[in-house]
């Protein structure tokens, strides 16, 4: 008998998460309920995953219909739902082909593999490096952890997978280091979520993009957190006037059902041929059905316009609220991905919100991350602003 079974105080689940002291058992729309029946306004959206709120009806119905037909089949066979979802993504983006997987990390793994293969296929075997940026986050697999330029993510896991070079984010003076004869691709978030909700500056992103175009370096964007309407357009890159060569998606693509994707233009996509990459579960009938339903709702229900107007209102209210407050240093972000930099640690504010029935997150030690469902109502936003004012007053009286 194992020691774990003898010692009942040890959880059978590994301790890879520092969990909040609540157990969520139900969700609908912008709200979740715990096992004690307490109701919370969920402004984490499952970390930018439940973009349509919890258990959106159209997605639920699509999944229920697919459950009665076919759950899984090998990617060695045609999967109609996968083809339909790929067609929707291609039609509404600048990309030509899609590879499906199960998560954002897997999407980024696929992008990294594609970049290396593309360089070889173009007769540039010396191009084996991929540039990422400080404070980025691209996943927790061995390779995507190495792509993530944060020392706290690397700690305990060295030596890291080689082949990555890190540059400062939004720093023009370092862009002359992008092309050194060894660079196959650049991979970046247009808004760094985990790294502090840092938005790319327009001039910097345009300069970087033009360097990549000139030198045939693949320009790859990680939109795992910013995609699927989170910033007010279907994809964040649309607001920067660029057309990336490769984009990765996950989180909001399946409204909480596990699915990831890598999208690419024709020229790099051609480097993936049978046998170069694959996935057992990627794009299976259930996952693809969730993706189709999510896309249909985002495209037809005026949600993107709602995100644009609601987020402008929310950010304006936040600026008005904190104008005279010492606790808040800066508000930044885009759409419904908002970072509030504090002059104190974020944990106390998160706890104060939770006691008032609101769930929010951090993005680093002192940045509060607000991720409302894209479908949140004006009434819910007004409630959040009211409670935020109460939280600031309470926490400031103790902390400052």
Taking residues 193-222, report their average pLDDT.
Answer: 97
Q: In the chain, what are the domain boundaries?
A: 3-55+303-399, 57-300
Distances from the Cα of 21 to the Cα of 120, 121, 217, 312, angstroms: 50, 51, 46, 33
- Per-residue pLDDT tens over the stretch 129-176: 999 999 999 999 999 999 999 999 999 999 999 999 999 999 999 999
- The answer, yes or no, to whether residue 4 has pLDDT greater than 90, is no
Predicted TM-score (pTM) of the model is 0.95
Residue 248, Cβ density class (10 Å: 0-12 exposed, 13-18 middle, ≥19 buried): buried
Of 156, 142, 136, 315, the closest CA to residue 232 belongs to 315
Assigned CATH class of 3-55+303-399: alpha beta
Taking residues 28-43, report their average pLDDT.
Answer: 98
- The answer, yes or no, to whether residue 211 has pLDDT greater than 90, is yes
Assigned CATH class of 57-300: alpha beta
- The answer, yes or no, to whether residue 16 has pLDDT greater than 90, is no
Strand-pair category, 218-222 with 183-188? parallel
């Amino acid at each position: 008998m194992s020691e774990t079974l003898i010692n009942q105080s040890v959880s059978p689940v590994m301790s890879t998460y520092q969990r909040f002291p609540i157990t969520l058992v139900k969700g609908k729309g912008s709200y979740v309920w715990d096992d004690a029946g307490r109701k919370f306004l969920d402004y984490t959206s499952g970390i930018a995953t439940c973009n349509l709120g919890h258990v959106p009806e159209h997605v639920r119905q699509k999944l229920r219909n697919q459950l009665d037909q076919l759950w899984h089949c090998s990617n060695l066979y045609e999967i109609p739902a996968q083809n339909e979802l790929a067609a929707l993504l291609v039609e509404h983006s600048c990309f030509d082909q899609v590879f499906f997987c199960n998560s954002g990390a897997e999407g980024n793994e696929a992008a990294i593999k594609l970049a290396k293969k593309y360089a070889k296929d173009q007769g540039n075997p010396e191009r084996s490096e991929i540039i990422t940026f400080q404070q980025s986050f691209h996943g927790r697999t061995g390779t995507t952890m190495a792509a993530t330029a944060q020392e706290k993510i690397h700690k305990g896991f060295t030596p890291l997978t080689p082949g990555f070079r890190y540059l400062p984010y939004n720093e023009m003076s370092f862009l002359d280091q992008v092309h050194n004869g060894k660079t196959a691709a650049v991979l970046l978030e247009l808004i760094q979520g985990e790294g502090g909700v840092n938005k790319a500056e327009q001039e910097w992103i345009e300069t970087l993009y033009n360097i990549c175009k000139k030198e045939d370096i693949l320009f790859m964007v990680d939109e795992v957190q910013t995609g699927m309407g989170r910033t007010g357009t279907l994809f964040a890159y649309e607001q920067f006037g660029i057309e990336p060569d490769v984009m990765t998606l996950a989180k909001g693509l399946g409204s909480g059902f596990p699915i990831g994707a890598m999208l690419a233009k024709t020229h790099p996509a051609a480097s993936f041929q049978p046998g170069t990459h694959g996935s057992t579960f990627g794009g299976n009938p259930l996952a693809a059905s969730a993706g189709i339903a999510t896309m249909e709702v985002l495209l037809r229900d005026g949600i993107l316009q709602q995100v644009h107007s609601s987020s402008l209102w929310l950010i304006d209210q936040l600026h008005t609220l904190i104008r005279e407050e010492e606790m808040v240093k800066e508000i930044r972000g885009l759409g419904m991905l908002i970072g509030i930099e504090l002059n104190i640690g974020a944990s106390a504010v998160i706890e104060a919100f939770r006691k008032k029935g609101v769930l929010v997150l951090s993005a680093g030690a002192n940045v509060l991350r607000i991720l409302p469902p894209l479908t949140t109502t004006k009434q819910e936003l007004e409630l959040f602003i009211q409670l935020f004012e109460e939280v600031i007053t309470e926490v400031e009286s103790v902390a400052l």
